[in-house]
Structure 1
Amino acid sequence: MHLHGATDSEAVRRKLAEGAARLSGAGLMVAQGPGYALFDGRVPRLLLDTIMPDRPLALVADDHHTVWANTRALEQAGVLHGRETSDGHEVVMGDDGLANGTLLEPEAYAPVLSLSGYYRAMQGLAVGTEPDPAPTAAQRAGDLESLARGLAHANAHGVTSIVNMDGNLYTLDLLDQLRAEGRLTARVRVPFHFLPEMDEAELERASEMHARWNDEWLASGFVKLFMDGVIESNTAFMKADYPGRPGWRAHGRFPAERFARLATEIDRRGLQIAVHSIGDAATARVLDGYAAARRANGDSGLRHRIEHIELIDPADIPRLAELGVIASMQPMHVPGTGFPLQPAQGAIPPERWPDSYPVRRLKDAGVAIALASDWPVTDISVMRGFHAAVTRQSWCAEQADPRLTLAEALSGYTMGGAFAERTDTIKGSLTPGKLADVVILDGEIEAMDPGVLDRVAVRRTICGGRTVYKRP
């Protein structure tokens, strides 16, 4: 269930009570959407105990990098007394020697989410492996329906192509079954998720996924990695200390030498690389790895990607263009648009604000831009994404106008996305001979005030020449 709009503990309590009435039982209850501010000055575990003391409860941050859990959930998951994790993942401990309820990154929160079927849906993201034990027939049927509902939700917002940023063989197998049943209503690309603890031999699974699925409806062909966390929880890897935390810059999840070897091998296999990289130190390390791959293999033309780039060293901006790297950006990630202004803005020194969420600067430097939602981290609505991209305001006088034009935003969500997945010859524009993927809106957006773009509705979505959504 979702807690969007619940900004204080009483509102959260009411929504969870409503959800508990619908979802009877004693199993783990999972909800998404509380802001970090809910826990300011409070021990999350103890606060959640007052809200739901008798049933295990986990609240997932919108960014999916932090989970907060109550005592019952921590006990059942075996992490109340802590858990050893690798750098960048943490079961945060309290002064009383017990977990305080804050679980940073997948290694920390996986045991809690494993208490429910929700974890199976996130398994490709959290651990990059296949479900074990294998889902029962009933569980598989439920997973199929969940995927079908997600596709229908995307279609209703005008989405015809999805580049998933997590997944595994099980995900692709389910999507293939939906295709066989005539229920695949969008084109989907699913990665192999490589984690730091994996051996490089695991990349053979990525090659297997690419060999089995590589057509215009279902494809793999790329490897996803995480270099760091997020600014909000101070787990994004930075070149300078976080404000108020002397000596703390977070960590890169892959050492520089190892990432360079991985990038070189993945590139050699003919697979695209997509790396979650938010901090400036993380992005510098990713670019170093991409440069190493090019030195070893030459220019493969694979258009490797960096996801998010929320703070960048200005010296690294020309490197993206020189290396042909795609900047995959999310207009709704900017604090004050899709996310609250705090705590992210306060975690970036004011003198670095001009270097934050730099889509305009990257565009002006000739970097190829793909725009996306990162749903369910932020709103899937493309129209609200347009609105955020063209109405964004500067944080300070030193920050140049950060807005994109409507034409640039349109290109980012269409041709930019197709170019990033190397399918721009068959989709991304209304051109004779390209795939019949068309979205019809209920207004002429080029004639509108940009301030009302978020009110525009999708009238019809057509994918592969078939209407997959029609507004009632």
Structure 2
Amino acid sequence: MTVADIIIENGKLITFGGGTGRAEAIALAGGHILAVGTNAAVRETKGPDTRVIDAQGNTVLPGFIESHIHLFSGGLELAMLDLSSSHDAETVASRVREYSAQQPDAPVLYAIGAHYDLLGAGRPIDRHGLDRVMPDRPFAVMAADHHTLWANTSALELAGILHGATVPEGNEIVMGADGLATGELLESGAYEYVLATTASGGRDLLGMTTGNDPVPPATPEQRAADKAILRAGLRHLAKTGVTTFHNMDGNFYQLELLSEIEAEGDLLCRGQVPFHFKNYDPIDRLDEAAEMQRRYNSDWLWSGRLKLFHDGVVESGTAAMLRPYPNWPDSTGAPLFTPEQFNEICVRADEMGLQISVHAIGDAAVRGTLDGYAAARAANGARDSRHRIEHIEVLHPDDLPRLRELDVVASMQPLHAPWGGLFAPSDEGQILHEDQKPLAYACQTIRETGVPMIFSSDWPVVPVEVLPSIGAAVAPKHLGGNWTDQRQNLRDALESYTAMGAYAEFNESKKGRLVPGMFADLVILSDDLDNVALKDVGKASVQLTICGGRVTYDAGVA
């Protein structure tokens, strides 16, 4: 009989397996699950060197599958000034100047997490306001959604864009009446100029801004620094119970670094990194996606997926809408691809056997994405493609049934929604029309149609900790008015972070459930979630994370 390496007993296991889906103990051996059942039955696998962990009556789950993150930038931003709690110019100035004293050698003082009311309600964020915050050196701050960056005059001058520059379609260096940049840089093609001047050289976001590798190539010192950032990100994921991540930006450079980390024994999570296709790329760049898929295809690190941005975000008016915004009556935003271009990409990628995931927030972008998937199906025939749409924040009623008809995987983020409690809902007459709200951030409405639903954070847009996201899903804020109650069942929400995440990556036979033969990826929580009030689920924490049979995080449970 095989002897267990680790036994976890006295747990409240939610297995997502057959029968009741419940058990009290689990045995792990050789990186896989050996046995699941009662304490007595599982103890039969105990040997002299077996580590026994007492779960103390707390919930034990499959390891969390974080289906939408940006690992490189998330790891980098762990050490940066976070201005997400600052909403007035005086507080911002105080915090930025204190940070400046701690970063005397940084070429650009760079902060993160800004909300659109950073300098106060109704006060625009522009270079003049940021000059008052930091008058003595280049300063830039990234919006929490990572779709807008604001820079002061010194930073714009250093980046060479004070007088404007050429940017791709759908990106904008906003220019003022004086012929100079205002400091508002919309989308990655506009703000990459400033990122290139920061201490990291913008390498952390190259997988999103261009999808290319560093030019010139990173030096050995830069590679070592970047690997340290990725390691920090991996440690943070393990601490939150994540055992698999789906990256949403990608290039060969990230995969090379992660492969080196794996060879050095420090890859604490399994991860998928896509090929990022931009709207100005020639169609033949898809051959690089195929090469990425061929080169990286292990159980720990793989590709096989194409990522595209169809639009921006509603807060800056760059999300593509079917009709004008109520507060910007002359603008519907703009899709980043023409219909013909996008459909051609989908048809070709689908024909190559690639999975596609598309950032689509506005209802026009969601419709355009569905049209692309329908074109692929018409050209290539139906197959088990599991193409994904990321976010789906605004959905037209006519497109709700199409998600199921086209077998789309809905990838959504509870903490992005105003009912999640992290971001306030827009005022009436701002951002959304009242009749758009019933199908805005409509997780439960979409789930009820039978569409596979996966959850995530979009870290570093919001914190990657899983339990707060689940807490937001099961105990959302009541918004009233035309907003629809999108409350999730606890089991459904947990499944969207485990078994359904495995389904979305075609690995439902290997992970996402606690059944014998599956990968030994699991977490022990601080509480028995069945006995926690729904409003308190988000307060639970991870006590132990195991990935591939290896303890990757231990808060001291055993």
| TM-aligned CA deviation for residue 398 of structure 1 | 4.2
8 Å CA contact 1:156, 1:458 repeated in 2: yes
Q: 1:118 to 1:452 in 2, by over 3 A?
A: farther
Q: 1:125 aligns with which of 167, 189, 208?
A: 208
Partner of 1:99: 181
Once the two structures are TM-superposed, the CA of residue 283 in structure 1 deviates from its matched residue by 0.5
Give the TM-score taking structure 2 as reference length. 0.83
Q: Indicate the percent of aligned positions where both proteins have the same amino acid.
A: 44
Corresponding residue pairs, total: 472
State the structure with bigger RCO (CA 8 A, min sep 6), 1 or 2: 2
Query: Conserved in 2, the CA contact under 8 Å of 1:26 and 1:55?
Result: no
1 CA distance for matches of 2:125 and 2:410?
Answer: 37
Do the aligned residues in 2 keep the contact of 1:426 with 1:434 (CA within 8 Å)?
A: yes
1:467 aligns with 2:551: yes
Question: Are 1:82 and 2:164 an aligned pair?
Answer: yes
**Cα distance between partner residues in 2 of 1:392 and 1:249:** 29
Instruction: Give me the whole-angstrom Cα distance separating, in 2, the residues matched to 1:338 and 1:177.
Output: 39
Answer whether contact 1:370 1:417 (CA < 8 A) is retained: yes
Q: How does 1:62-461 map to 2 (within 5 A)?
A: 62-116=144-198, 117-337=200-420, 339-343=422-426, 346-461=430-545
Q: Give 1:26 shift.
A: 5.0
CA distance in 2, matches of 1:244, 1:373: 28
Question: For 2:104 and 2:88, how far apart are their aligned partners in 1?
Answer: 24
- Kindly provide the CA deviation profile for residues 29-68 of structure 1, in whole angstroms up to 9, marking residues without a partner as x: 2111111012433351001101112211110011110000
Per-residue Cα deviation, 1:245-292 (whole angstroms, up to 9, x for no partner): 222101111111111110000011111000000000000010001001
For residue 394 of structure 1, report the CA deviation from its aligned partner.
4.2
| 3-state SS, counterpart of residue 141 of structure 2 | strand
Contact 1:338/1:378 (8 A) holds in 2: no
1:231 Cα deviation from its structure 2 partner: 0.5
Answer whether contact 1:393 1:403 (CA < 8 A) is retained.
no
* Paired residue secondary structure (2:314): coil
Structure 2: which amino acid aligns with 1:402? Q
User: What amino acid sits opposite 1:423 in the alignment?
Assistant: N
Q: Which letter does structure 2 place at the counterpart of 1:52?
A: M
Higher mean Cα deviation, 22-31 or 221-230?
Answer: 22-31
Unaligned runs of 5+ in 2: 1-79
Quick check: 1:309–1:357 contact (8 Å CA) kept in 2?
yes
Paired residue secondary structure (1:459): strand
- Classify 1:42/1:295 alpha carbon distance in 2 versus 1 (closer, same or farther; 3 Å): closer
RMSD: 1.4
Contact in 2 for aligned 1:337/1:392 (Cα 8 Å)? yes
Contact 1:335 1:344 in 2 (8 A): no
- TM-score normalised over the length of structure 1: 0.97
- Measure the CA separation in 2 of the matches of 1:393 and 1:275: 28
1:214-239 CA-partner distances (Å, limit 9, x unpaired) = 11100000010000000100100000
Shift of 1:343: 4.6
Q: Residue by residue, what CA displacement relative to the aligned partner does 1:163-206 show, whole Å, maximum 9, x if unpaired?
A: 00002101001001111110000001001000011101111111
The higher radius of gyration belongs to 2
What is the distance in 2 between the residues matched to 1:43 and 1:444?
A: 45
Unaligned runs of 5+ in 1: none
Secondary structure in 2 matching 1:347: coil
What is the rounded CA distance, in whole Å, between the counterparts of 2:252 and 2:232 in structure 1? 20
Higher strand share: 2
Cα distance 1:227–1:344, how it changes in 2: closer, same or farther (>3 A)?
Answer: farther
CA contact (8 A) 2:396 2:436 kept: no
User: Aligned partners of 2:258 and 2:160: how far apart in 1?
Assistant: 34
